[in-house]
Structure 1
Amino acid sequence: MTDRDYDDLGLVAGLEIHQQLDTATKLFCGSPTTLREPEESDRTVTRFLHPTKSELGEIDEAALEESRVEREFEYLAYDTTCLVEEDDEPPAEIDAEALSVAMQIANLLDATVVDQAHVMRKIVIDGSNTSGFQRSTLLGQEGEIETPDGAVGIEDLMLEEESAKRVAETEEGVRYSLDRLGIPLVEIGTKPDVSTPKQARDAAERIGMLLRSTGAVKRGLGTIRQDVNVSIADGARVEIKGVQALDQIDEIVALEVDRQAELVGIAAELDERDASVAEPTDVTEVFEGTDSGVIAGALDDGGAVHAVRLAGFDGVVGRELQPDRRLGTELSDHAKRHGAGGVFHTDELPAYGVTESEVAALREAVGAGAEDAVALVADDPETAELAIDAVAERAAVAIEGVPEETRGANDDGTTRYMRPLPGAARLYPETDVPPVELDPADVETPELLTEKADRYAAEYGLDPGLAEQVAYGRRMPLFEEAVEAGVDPTFAATTLESVVTELRRDDVPVEDLTDGAFLSTFELVEDGDLAKEGVNEVLATLARNPGLTAEEAVEEAGLSGVDEDEVREAVAEVVERNAEQVETEGMGAFSGLMGEAMGALRGRADGEVVSDALREEIRKRA
């Protein structure tokens, strides 16, 4: 990642945050919002999707490109799947719970809620929705959040249905799961007010905190996704989809700036060279009898090799734009969209079994000179032709500069081409769902997590760090319920955060612990039936044996309480074993013997009781 002057480059960025809501049912039907395992599916649905014209008679360019790739979409359905999800009946009215949560979010974003919510259809033909479109509703506009580097405006707040979950690639196309389709989702779009990678991350963190403050959003991998729009002064707007890790946003923005800056430089160099792109041609004869495994494999299956001369591109196709991603990688991304495995080009040849003499023959076949590059694709004849045409189109764009497009985020912070930017032609009204009158006064604005953490520290005397952990944690509602029931706040907070973390590190399946398991364990401690020191073991037992009650887990773990006489007896034995140390050190031996005494009692006695007994026994011996 290069250090750059973002002001000088004219960096402009904005965010789109997509967050699933934790409602009881889906947005347009009564199906539950719980996820299922693919093996639980009891039937499948198959669809072929095609683009349609908008009300203005236009076809969206992104949808049109998707349609050029002929694919079958298979959907896994379940006993909880409704007919709306299968696209076999019209949607019901918008879920009232989802509307209420979304309006809370609008209030937190300081956004103006619209008078009426109108549902729109947004064309999506990548298979992620059985109907070929996503239902989306504008709820709020013109909000604002604060970041350390200044305010960031909120363009809009949308309430949408979540897409189906991609499960696998098949020989015919793509397999999706319908368990996720239709889960209520809010999309928050900021204005292009972000001017540094750090501010992009700060803005995303602020929005994430506001969302979690509602206590009504889903948590975990895949429940929140960040898209980032990035451009520089001489570049173009690029939408980067599917950023799952919050701590990766600043790196992704910085690497996209690098990519655009490199492409701007390449365009200037190609202009000086008077670069151009020739018509692709079939060069199969050049590679007859080749030792290249990839090319030979394609030809053995009746395939062909197609190539294109890139005049003035010599040395440019191999130019790095991002770590391990070059202009040639961009050409390859476009070829892959049409089913090709990838692209070879002369900046990297001879290699991959392609010989120097084959490179020379290739150059001659397409009329390439010393300053030219050649790109080629080997595949079945139709795929090879479509793929090389896509390569030629992308190379021609490189002469102009940075293309507007949608890109996907990679795990290493780099990005890959997905499709052209969508336009307004993909939206049209949903006629099956009536408008809804909205009144933001009907919902209360929730307490912010930052405010909640401060309150926990002040009201319950929690350490500020622990207070923040609990406030931001998934079990915050459980903490409040436990404290309301009379559980010591520090004990409850420490158990729900520190103890659970320790158990997770020991491979205990803490995700199987229910709220009831915690509350019943807390009750045993409060009633004196379980020492605090035994909580870890009881919770571990409950996690591994979800059918047990807390009382049964205490028995299973061998932690049934001991009376005071048994404590004194166990402590006396510890002191007797260490009599010489006690006589020498007196009360100085206390710390070492305390651990041994607790170990002897295995968490069956409260630490304070053991401590008192040990001090008394040492005084007798000293």
Structure 2
Amino acid sequence: MEHDYEELGLKAGLEIHQQLDTETKLFCDCPTTVRDEEESTHAFRRYLHPTRSELGEVDEAALEESRVDRKFTYKAYGTTCLVEEDEEPPRPMNRDAVSVALEAAETFGMGRVDHAHVMRKIVIDGSNTTGFQRTALLAHDGVVETSEGDVRIDALALEEESARRLGETDEGPVFSLDRLGVPLVEIGTAPDIRTPEQAQETAERIGMVLRSTGKVKRGLGTVRQDLNVSIEEGARIEMKGVQDLSAIGEMVENEARRQYELVEIADELNERGASVCGTYDVTEVFEETGSGVIDGAVSDGGSVVAVVLEGFDGLVGREIQPDRRLGTELSDRAKKRGAGGVFHTDELPAYGVSEDEVEALRDAVDAGSGDAVAIVADEDATAWNAVEAVAERAEQALEGVPEETRDANEDGTSSYLRPLPGAARMYPETDVYPVALDGFEVSPPELLDERAERYAEKHGLDEDLAERVAYGARMPVYEKAVESGYEPSLVASTVEETLVDLRRDGVPVEEIEDEELLETFALVDEDEVAKEGVPELLRGVAEGGEPDDVADELGLDSAAREEVEEVVDGILDERADYVENEGMGAMGGLMGAVMEEMRGKADGELVSDVLREKLQERVS
């Protein structure tokens, strides 16, 4: 559905979270490397509960999370320290991380705060062992330029990354502590974005600036975007965890549509005089049901609980996002209370529920033809708790769009996560001293688009390759290699073409360290290995070998002219008839044969020179 976003009054803001590539974490000296779960040496468990702010208030989002009692399991490693386990106070803030964050702030023209004061932000979803996340404001009031106008940056903060979620057990979630505490820069914009396209462009620009520092982590999960979206008649919605940068425009578009549809539904409900009526135990209706879900709950001693939605008929099943309906929103709320989901009469009979059971259900709760009924089947306390949440969400549907925090789904839609946090969520961290920022001398980094232009103009790379190198994950090693005097075209083609080709062949190129690439370029520069031998050399390095050793084992030492001449003479003798028939036209076919025989030991230019001379001698 196409929308006029100006007419809708669309407003959006971004929060970009990017992991920094520092050696140690933000508040301890543990490494920031990702670990395999199998490397875990021990585990411990915690229960987390909301705390009151300094004014005695409890944050609504934290309270909602605490409604379901869960045990959190944390997998630790040989490198895990007592700070990460919340058994001792944090160390001073990582100054390297502060410097990187301030580089980005300089690029956006932001003003620094005098002192960075660390705050605690309550988070009891298990992602932090402490029950809170430490964060510190570093700078404010900047600007991102876009083709649709400037977008103001309200704040740049440095905070600790959350623990990595591994999965779920019957008792609760399981987390890994390898990621907990990795320095994370957060950049929040003002709600100046007016179209999905501008949101996309803003995110790309901020991401480019952060990558320009050369000190950010790359790969899945190292950067995520949160969105704040509203339309004029809607409400502010925070969407958490957009992992794919290219999905931001779609997320904004789908949220604008969701709010538009919810406003339309509210108008229709109010015209009908709709209301949310009582809740009922309707277990008896489903005593002989064919629904596996309901039968399973009842057989285990559970209940089927219903809520009557007077005047909601036909609207619970109305689509508000692709493949998501108002009924899905009711189900999201039930799931947050521990239930498996919701059935409602707009979709029944289905899922093993018969038409007769639907009629019996309507009779049991005295629902009219214009009413809808939603049911939850689960353990008794869970069912009643979940139906209460369903009723609350249905009441909100009468008003329009409820303010809330939503989870970004992979398909570009979103689902309910928790209420929006309030001011009671933040309070001062008393275990970390403030950091004076006037002693940090930093300069804005060279931006990646500027870097690509320099690579093309100064290094002679074509524009496409220059851009790929500048934006690529191996850009820092390219810079080091060129500074060391190695040939730019060789380095660029290796990091952006050879490694890509090897990866497509199933070679684990991610195992190749930057230092090993530099050693490879040094071997070529010293004529120890021919350029043509680089792919085979790196294949061996990826499988665990050292560059020098792989070169020796594969016989990749650069061939002398005499050895090339010997191989060329042999091939010309073998293919004398071909040479006689084709003359100098045989050059192309013979070149491939010689290079194959040399197996990467000879430089292509040397082979070409020798072959041309020898061929001319034969055909003259």
Equivalent-residue separation in structure 1 for 2:520 and 2:140 (angstroms): 46
Structure 2, unmatched stretches of 5+, are none
Alignment of 1:70-219 (within 5 A): 70-219=69-218
Q: Please, which moves more after superposition, 569-578 or 247-256?
A: 569-578
Q: Please, which moves more after superposition, 513-522 or 486-495?
A: 513-522
1:498: how far off? Answer: 0.9
Q: Please tell me the residue identity of whatever aligns with 2:86.
A: D
Q: Please tell me the residue identity of whatever aligns with 1:293.
A: G
Equivalent-residue separation in structure 1 for 2:178 and 2:524 (angstroms): 40
CA deviations 1:124-166 (Å, max 9, x no partner) are 1111111111111111111111111111100101111111111
1:40: how far off? Answer: 1.8
Q: Please tell me the residue identity of whatever aligns with 1:279.
A: G
1:247: how far off? Answer: 0.6
Matched, 1:317 2:320: no
Partner of 1:55: 54
Residue of 565, 568, 571 corresponding to 2:565: 568
Question: Is 1:116–1:437's contact at 8 Å kept on the other side of the alignment?
Answer: yes
CA deviations 1:390-417 (Å, max 9, x no partner) are 1111111111101111111111111111
Partner of 1:491: 490
Partner of 1:463: 462
TM-score under structure 1 length normalisation: 0.97
CA deviations 1:459-500 (Å, max 9, x no partner) are 211112212222222222211221122211111111111111
Partner of 1:267: 266
Equivalent-residue separation in structure 1 for 2:598 and 2:178 (angstroms): 49
* 2:33 counterpart SS class: coil
Q: Please tell me the residue identity of whatever aligns with 2:580.
A: E
CA deviations 1:495-518 (Å, max 9, x no partner) are 111111111111111011112221
Partner of 1:522: 521
Partner of 1:435: 434
Question: Is 1:541–1:556's contact at 8 Å kept on the other side of the alignment?
Answer: no
Q: Please tell me the residue identity of whatever aligns with 1:283.
A: V
Q: Please tell me the residue identity of whatever aligns with 1:190.
A: T
1:551–1:92: structure 2 CA closer, same or farther, 3 Å change rule? closer
Structure 1 residue ranges, 4+ long, deviating more than 4 angstroms after superposition: none
Partner of 1:599: 596
Structure 1, unmatched stretches of 5+, are none
1:566: how far off? Answer: 3.0
Question: Is 1:407–1:416's contact at 8 Å kept on the other side of the alignment?
Answer: yes
Partner of 1:33: 32
Equivalent-residue separation in structure 2 for 1:434 and 1:604 (angstroms): 59
1:56: how far off? Answer: 1.9
Alignment of 1:523-562 (within 5 A): 523-544=522-543, 546=544, 548-562=545-559
CA deviations 1:418-448 (Å, max 9, x no partner) are 0011111101111121222111762222222
Matched, 1:614 2:602: no
Partner of 2:370: 371
Equivalent-residue separation in structure 1 for 2:448 and 2:500 (angstroms): 21
* 1:278 counterpart SS class: strand
1:586: how far off? Answer: 2.5
Q: Please tell me the residue identity of whatever aligns with 1:510.
A: V
1:368: how far off? Answer: 0.7
* 1:400 counterpart SS class: coil
Equivalent-residue separation in structure 2 for 1:441 and 1:387 (angstroms): 52
Q: Please tell me the residue identity of whatever aligns with 2:45.
A: T
Q: Please tell me the residue identity of whatever aligns with 1:276.
A: S
Question: Is 1:103–1:440's contact at 8 Å kept on the other side of the alignment?
Answer: no
Question: Is 1:113–1:440's contact at 8 Å kept on the other side of the alignment?
Answer: no
Q: Please tell me the residue identity of whatever aligns with 2:223.
A: I
Partner of 2:226: 227
Question: Is 2:530–2:557's contact at 8 Å kept on the other side of the alignment?
Answer: no
Q: Please tell me the residue identity of whatever aligns with 2:456.
A: A
Aligned-residue CA RMSD (Å): 1.4
Partner of 2:584: 587
1:92: how far off? Answer: 1.9
CA deviations 1:296-339 (Å, max 9, x no partner) are 11111111100111111111111111111111111111110111
- Percent identity, aligned pairs only, is 62
Q: Please tell me the residue identity of whatever aligns with 2:52.
A: K
Question: Is 1:120–1:136's contact at 8 Å kept on the other side of the alignment?
Answer: yes
